[in-house]
């Protein structure tokens, strides 16, 4: 590894000496300057062109975050770390907004070294992009079944594809994925990074396979900056990420929808549900999301001669990708017990439908028993069907949204 040129700023001379001692022990770091005065730093950075800048930050704000913002504006590729005395969520968010790469609270020498090693590997100006694909569930209307679908789909994706799956709750304090899974992570992502811990402290495996991350449990809405940091981190860790998105079109919601490989829009088969789906499509259009990333998922059987999945597709001029059966007693009992249907009622028609969806989304063929009573003819017919069928759409166009 090439050695990285580092500038250290801390107004407190004693603490600066401690950081200096730690840095001198790290073989891939070359400390080019350490200073106590923030005012001198922009000129120093222009002159020395460091790879990394470490800024000591004290409360009340000693100006560290302001300095970080200025340095990053002047040199967008520069990796800036904050070494903080204490953590406040508001400070962490401000630092992230400013473009700070790491916010460490009183790190041990080992933690400091680990953070610098992470950054030393990251190309300085590139936004981290991982291999994971994001599936976002979004409808502007509450009570549609979005969270139930998110939880069950994450489990089904893991079971059907054997890929690693992360499930993220982006509803802030209104989030309920923990209830659905009966899994209560001791801290949210924002709390973990606010304490200077690795974000993975907020990552909790459910016994069925996927891991749950609650983005924030005190904020009313999850900030877009949080989304922009959390989702790439999850994409590096998981092959598939399922996001339960805030029903409101907040900036965080829009940032998530833009990052998604597929946006699933659950639709109740009634007039209110149709109106909500129409609004979801409208919001997506206003933000220039490609129409082929949007997938309507109807919930319910519809009314005779009234709203059917077909009618919804025709009225909204957007094909219905999947249809889920209506089973309020089963869906409600699953939530109340904290045991998702895929785990508690794997034989139900709702669980079958979600698994079929997961296979489509993962780009896998259906593996149902051959049609036509078996035998070679039945097998051929089944093979013809799966090789000719379009994946997850009703308009004949393929929609293999995941790898």
Ligand X SMILES: Nc1ncnc2c1ncn2[C@@H]1O[C@H](COP(=O)(O)OP(=O)(O)OP(=O)(O)O)[C@@H](O)[C@H]1O
Query: CA-CA distance, 279 to 143, in Å (whole number)?
Result: 16
Q: What is the DSSP-derived secondary structure letter of residue 187?
A: S
**Residue among 226 and 245 whose Cβ is closer to Mg ion:** 245
278 contacts Mg ion (rule: CB under 5 A): no
Residues 146 to 205 in contact with Mg ion, rule: CB under 5 A: 147
Q: What is the DSSP-derived secondary structure letter of residue 200?
A: G
- Nearest residue to ligand X, by Cβ distance, number only: 142
**Residue among 331 and 343 whose Cβ is closer to ligand X:** 331
The distance of closest approach from Cβ of residue 212 to ligand X in the complex, given in angstroms and rounded to an integer, is 15
Place of tokens 């904050």: 82
Q: How far is CA 376 from CA 346, 365, 387, 388, in A?
A: 29, 19, 16, 18
Closest listed residue to residue 67, CA positions, set 46, 45, 42: 42
Residues that bind ligand X (CB under 6 A): 142-148, 176, 299, 324, 326-328, 331-332, 335, 350
Residue 282 interacts with which of Mg ion, ligand X, none, CB < 5 to 8 Å by class: none
Whether the CB-CB separation of 402 and 362 falls below 8 Å is answered with yes
The distance of closest approach from Cβ of residue 321 to ligand X in the complex, given in angstroms and rounded to an integer, is 15
**Residue among 75 and 156 whose Cβ is closer to Mg ion:** 156
**Residue among 100 and 227 whose Cβ is closer to Mg ion:** 227
The distance of closest approach from Cβ of residue 16 to Mg ion in the complex, given in angstroms and rounded to an integer, is 48
253 contacts Mg ion (rule: CB under 5 A): no
Which x/- pattern, by CB under 5 A, does the window 104-143 give for Mg ion? Answer: ----------------------------------------
Query: CA-CA distance, 402 to 226, in Å (whole number)?
Result: 24
Give helix 271-286 / helix 251-259 axis angle, nearest 10°. Answer: 80
User: Residue 81 has which token pair?
Assistant: 């770390």
**Residue among 113 and 217 whose Cβ is closer to ligand X:** 217
Whether the CB-CB separation of 191 and 105 falls below 8 Å is answered with no
The distance of closest approach from Cβ of residue 145 to Mg ion in the complex, given in angstroms and rounded to an integer, is 8
Residues of this chain that interact with Mg ion (CB under 5 A) are 147
């Amino acid at each position: 590894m090439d050695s990285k040129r580092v500038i250290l700023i801390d107004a407190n001379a004693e603490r600066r000496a401690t950081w200096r001692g730690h840095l001198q022990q790290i073989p891939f770091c070359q400390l080019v300057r350490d200073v106590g005065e923030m005012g001198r730093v922009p000129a120093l950075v222009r002159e020395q062109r460091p790879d990394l800048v470490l800024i000591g930050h004290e409360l009340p704000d000693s100006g560290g975050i302001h300095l970080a913002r200025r340095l990053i504006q002047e040199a967008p590729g520069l990796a800036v770390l904050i070494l903080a005395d204490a953590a406040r969520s508001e400070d962490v968010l401000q630092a992230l907004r400013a473009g700070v790469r790491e916010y460490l609270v009183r790190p041990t020498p080992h933690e400091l070294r680990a953070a610098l090693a992470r950054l030393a590997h990251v190309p300085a100006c590139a936004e981290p992009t991982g291999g994971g694909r994001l599936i976002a569930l979004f409808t502007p209307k509450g009570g549609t079944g979005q969270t139930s679908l998110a939880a069950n789909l994450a489990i089904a994706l893991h079971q059907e594809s054997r890929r690693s799956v992360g499930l993220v709750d982006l509803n802030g304090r209104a989030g309920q994925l923990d209830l659905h899974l009966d899994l209560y992570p001791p801290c949210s992502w924002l709390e973990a990074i606010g304490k200077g811990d690795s974000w993975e402290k907020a990552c909790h495996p459910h016994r069925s396979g996927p891991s749950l991350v609650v983005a924030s449990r005190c904020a009313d809405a999850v900030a877009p900056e949080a989304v922009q940091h959390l989702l790439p981190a999850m994409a590096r860790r998981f092959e598939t990420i399922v996001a339960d998105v805030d029903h409101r079109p907040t900036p965080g919601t829009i940032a998530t929808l833009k990052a998604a490989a597929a946006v699933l829009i659950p639709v109740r088969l009634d007039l209110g549900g149709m109106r909500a789906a129409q609004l979801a499509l409208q919001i997506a259009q206003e933000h220039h999301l490609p129409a082929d990333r949007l997938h309507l998922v109807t919930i319910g059987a519809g009314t005779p001669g009234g709203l059917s999945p077909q009618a919804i597709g025709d009225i909204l001029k957007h094909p219905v990708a999947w249809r889920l059966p209506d089973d309020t007693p089963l869906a409600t009992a699953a939530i109340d017990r904290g045991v998702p249907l895929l785990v508690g009622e794997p034989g139900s028609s709702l669980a079958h439908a979600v698994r079929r969806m997961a296979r489509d989304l993962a780009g896998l063929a259906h593996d149902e028993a051959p049609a036509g009573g078996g035998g070679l003819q039945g097998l051929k017919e089944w093979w013809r069907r799966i090789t000719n069928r379009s994946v997850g759409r009703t308009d004949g166009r393929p929609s293999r949204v995941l790898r």
